[in-house]
Chain A
Amino acid sequence: MKWLKRIAIVLAALIVLPVVTLLILGQRSGAGQMHASAEISASPAQLWSWIDDGQRLKQWVSWMVEARAWDKPAGVGARRVLVMRDENNGGAIMEIEGTCTEYSPPSRLTMLLAVKDAFDGQQLYRLTDLGNGRTRLDVESRYHLTNPLARLMEPLVTPQAEKKLVGDVARLKSMVESRAEVR
């Protein structure tokens, strides 16, 4: 009986403490927000095609299987579907519906991204011309997880998502600059 009590106390502590910690961390001001930036040796116009063109987009966004073309000429209100492979869910394919809410080539592109019963949010790509053929790319994302358990896990999810975003932007920089060198 003494051991059962001890086990119950340990199990309760193992569950309650992390849950309370996650709930507190979930209230922080930057919850669900990510940012990545890089200075890339390319002009804004050159860089724009890597963001706007689906074929190029899938080259630097890891785990993207397909980026379908805009359903109408690119601009505010146009939609496109991003198809992702979720290796952590047995390789399941997931379609993310993106709606363009801001389209100002070659400086700003904002997309609303949503998957029913999973998340919704927006991703902003901002390109700033630094002169001398250099551009600063900022990617800012804000997501809201709709699944209650996922919302609880948000303090763990967001840092990993930001790490992935930073890795993708670094890949874009490396790809763009290596192509620029070839030319």
Chain B
Amino acid sequence: MNPPLMARALLLAVAGDDQAEFVAGDLHEEFVFLCQTRGRRAGRRWYVWQVARSILALLGLRMRSGEVAHVFAATALGVAIPLLLLDRLWCFVYSQIPLKDGLHRAPGFLAANVICAGLCAAFCGATARSLRRAVAIAAAAALAAGFALWNSAGAAPALYVCVILLIAPASSLMAWRRFR
């Protein structure tokens, strides 16, 4: 007898490393009991409601444990800031062209951004101590890369955006697998 998949995934995503297994286990026991006594539909409804009302409390616990701060700091410092600094560097380079130029970027500069994003995200991923935290860092790395792209002055071709948004989480997860 399985609880609603989406609600369980949300619970695991929101709960921190220390809480997820205990909370999910307790809820699952109660869910099975309710399904046997009041029916499957009532059990599922109860499970979804319990997850919904626990989200804020679990997030609070997670923040106090420092996990959110770790994920945020790792990705903001490790991915967003390097990409934004590189963007400023390319702006400076283009600004030095005597007769000036537009906001397009040479493929070599974009490649440097991709390599930097990949390396920095890998570095962030290597600091994760569990799969769940690695997944959280990977997701945050993609968000941080997206934030950096959104705030960059230079033009971002669609292919470049896709590569950056894929390479950041992928390299983060690969680094976690390599160094766990």
Contacts and interface: CB of A to CB of B under 8 A. Distances in A.
B106 A160 contact: yes
Interface of B (DSSP majority class) = loop
Interface in B77-104: 90-103
B98 A63 contact: no
B114 to A, nearest CB: 15
Contacts of B98: 96, 113, 115, 119, 121, 141, 143, 161
B153 interface: yes
Interface stretch (A44-52, A102-110, A148-156, A173-181): A148-156
A-side binding surface: helix, strand, loop or mixed?
Answer: mixed
Interface stretch (A23-31, A71-79, A81-89, A125-133): A81-89
A124 interface: no
Contact of B100 (A10, A85, A153, A163): A85
Interface of A: 10, 61-64, 82, 84-89, 94, 96, 113, 115, 118-119, 121, 141, 143, 145, 147, 149-150, 153, 156-157, 159-161, 163-165, 168
Interface of B: 90-103, 106, 123, 153-154
24 contacts: A62-B101, A64-B99, A84-B99, A86-B95, A88-B90, A88-B95, A88-B154, A94-B100, A96-B98, A96-B99, A119-B96, A119-B98, A143-B98, A145-B96, A153-B93, A153-B96, A157-B97, A160-B93, A160-B94, A160-B97, A160-B101, A160-B106, A161-B97, A164-B99
